[in-house]
Chains A and B, each alone.
Chain A
Amino acid sequence: MNQTIRVPIHTDKDIVAARQKGRTLALSLGFSEIDSTLVATAISELARNIVTYAKRGEIQIQANGNSKGPCIVVIAKDKGSGISDIKLALQDGFSTSGSLGLGLPGVKRLVDEFEIVSNIGKGTIVKFKKWKA
């Protein structure tokens, strides 16, 4: 049950692969179509941040859970330059790459638990959890 799927992220094809693996796992755990799509969309955004900002990284997707039921844990890791102001990065409309700037606050809205740790010069780890409704 606690097997981790690891998807190396470097190109735009890896983004599609990561989100499809996330959706497949969500569906296999009994998540609804909507919640599986939310998981896939959140993974897509995080994977794209890796490709855009850090160039390389990894997405880890895990099935987990407790007496409340199953959940999916996703960890997006990179060794990029890090985010200097996380508070700012979590504001709607903020972006450093000229994109829509919906990335992180948007992802946060799609999931149940959301955590971000970033060290300047060392990289960023974003972790989210989504429970089966």
Chain B
Amino acid sequence: MEVPVLKQGPFLIATVQAALTDEDLHHLRRAMVERVVISRSLGVIIDVTAMDIMDSFASRTLREIAQMIRLRGAETIIVGIQPEVAFAMVQLGITLEGVVTALDLEEGLHYLNQKFESSA
């Protein structure tokens, strides 16, 4: 299941549509890092609203995506972590430390817009 990526101005928006396998996650990681380079994006939003769970593998891969994109000089925001998913993540011991999160796509865009408006 490929994750569609939309370009919106200086930002990229990746919307997860269904449960992702490990291979899907690795594909997403590669695709996002490549797209950030091609599009010269300043920010990336990954919408995980449709993700059924976030286990140790998924959260590690998302953190890696954020770190790789940061090395490119862009910022990643994970949006839409469902309440029950957040509950399970914390119980499992996952905090996604160092990764910016926001409630939903709207909040994520708001964050990026504010950040890049003030620095412009």
Q: How many residues of B contact A (CB 8 A)?
A: 23
| A102–B21 CB distance below 8 A | no
Contact with B along A62-90 (1 / 0, CB 8 A): 00000000000000000000000000000
> Is B91 at the interface (CB under 8 A from chain A)?
yes
| B94–A37 CB distance below 8 A | no
Q: Determine the distance from Cα of A40 to Cα of B54 in the docked complex, in whole angstroms.
A: 10
A95 to chain B, nearest CB (A): 10
| B60–A45 CB distance below 8 A | no
| B92–A37 CB distance below 8 A | no
Q: Which residues of A contact B91 (CB under 8 A)?
A: 38, 106, 109-110
Other-chain contact of A41, B21, B23, B53 (Cβ < 8 Å): B53
| A41–B55 CB distance below 8 A | yes
Q: Which segment, of B40-48, B82-90, B98-106, B107-115, faces chain A?
A: B82-90
| A48–B57 CB distance below 8 A | yes
Q: Determine the distance from Cα of A107 to Cα of B56 in the docked complex, in whole angstroms.
A: 10
7 contacts between A and B (CB under 8 A): A20-B52, A34-B83, A37-B85, A38-B87, A41-B89, A45-B55, A110-B92
Q: Which of B's residues lie within 8 Å of A, judged by CB?
A: 19-23, 52-57, 60, 82-85, 87-89, 91-94
